[in-house]
Amino acid sequence: MAESTAREQVRHRINTLSLSSTVSVNGAAVQDPGEVLHALDDLHWELGHHSHPTKKISVFISDQSGSLVLTLARDSEYPQEYWVFLPKLDYL
Q: What is the domain count for the chain?
A: 1
pTM, rounded to two decimals: 0.80
Query: Mean pLDDT of residues grouped by 10 in the chain (92 residues)?
Result: 69 84 96 89 76 92 90 90 74 46
d(CA 91, CA 28): 24
Q: What is the mean pLDDT of the chain?
A: 84
pLDDT value of position 83: 86
For the chain, the distance separating the N- and C-terminal CA atoms, rounded to the nearest angstrom, is 10
Please check whether residue 10 lies inside any domain of the structure.
yes
Please check whether residue 14 lies inside any domain of the structure.
yes
Domain of 22, in residue numbers: 3-85
Please check whether residue 12 lies inside any domain of the structure.
yes
